[in-house]
Amino acid sequence: DQQVKQNSPSLSVQEGRISILNCDYTNSMFDYFLWYKKYPAEGPTFLISISSIKDKNEDGRFTVFLNKSAKHLSLHIVPSQPGDSAVYFCAASDYSGGGADGLTFGKGTHLIIQP
Amino acid sequence: NAGVMQNPRHLVRRRGQEARLRCSPMKGHSHVYWYRQLPEEGLKFMVYLQKENIIDESGMPKERFSAEFPKEGPSILRIQQVVRGDSAAYFCASSPVGTSTDTQYFGPGTRLTVL
């Protein structure tokens, strides 16, 4: 039972254009969402997060949008750069809801930035 | 300021042997989380520990797996009598406080191969 879903296993974007990575969740108790980036043979690196009380958070080239009614969030990267090529994981938590204290991850989307 | 450290990076065991994975959190962090990533899957939460306490082990298999975070030294994830299905990447993360908005920072992982 996947509570966090990333339906696109891979995404190819041209350098300089916008990359949009999508994530859907089913657990309405999730109250905090994060995006991690992962290179092969390395651990995930934190990118950006958003609390359920907000609908947008921006940090440099990265913006995360949250649509609670649709249980959907997205990560926008603009402009995309070659170093952005990696696997991106969406993660969620429901600490305040009394659920597990760990993060629930999606399966990841492999972003490929084409020159 | 060293990040989360895990060792060994690669571990090979034969079926029936024991595997011990070590995690040293970031300086100043007192909360440790263990995750497992099977091939082509996202990370799955296993256990959350504070110093000398297991806070949440809802993701741990009921048998053969145990974790500890002693007052001194690293956190240890121990897998007894390993089987081929235990082959995976095991990631440790740490956070300073453990609140709902506390970002978890990941180590590089230990890749366990069971022959």
Q: Which of B17, B41, B54 shows the shortest CA–CA distance to B90? A: B41
Asked whether the beta carbons of residue B107 and residue A43 sit closer than 8 angstroms, the reply is yes
Is A43 close to B109, i.e. CB distance below 8 A?
Answer: yes
Residues 6+ apart with CB under 8 A from A64: A33, A35, A48, A49, A50, A56, A57, A58, A73, A74, A75, A76
Share of residues in chain A with pLDDT > 90 (%): 84
Beta carbons of B101 and A107 less than 8 Å apart? no
Tell me the pLDDT of chain A averaged across its residues: 93
Digit-coded pLDDT (tens) for A83-92: 999 999 999 9
Q: pLDDT of chain B along its 115 residues, tens only? A: 579 999 999 999 999 999 999 999 999 888 999 999 998 888 999 999 998 899 999 999 999 999 999 999 999 999 999 999 999 999 999 988 766 567 889 999 999 999 9
Supply the pLDDT for residue A94.
Answer: 82
On chain B, the residues whose CB falls within 8 A of the CB of A41 are 108-109
Does B1 contact A at CB distance below 8 Å?
no
Q: Which of B38, B40, B24, B42 is nearest to B111 (CA)?
A: B38
Q: How far apart are the CA of B5 and the nearest CA of chain A, in angstroms? A: 10
In 3-state terms chain A splits into helix, strand, coil percentages (rounded to 5) of 5, 50, 45
Contact assignment for B35 to A43 by CB distance below 8 Å: no
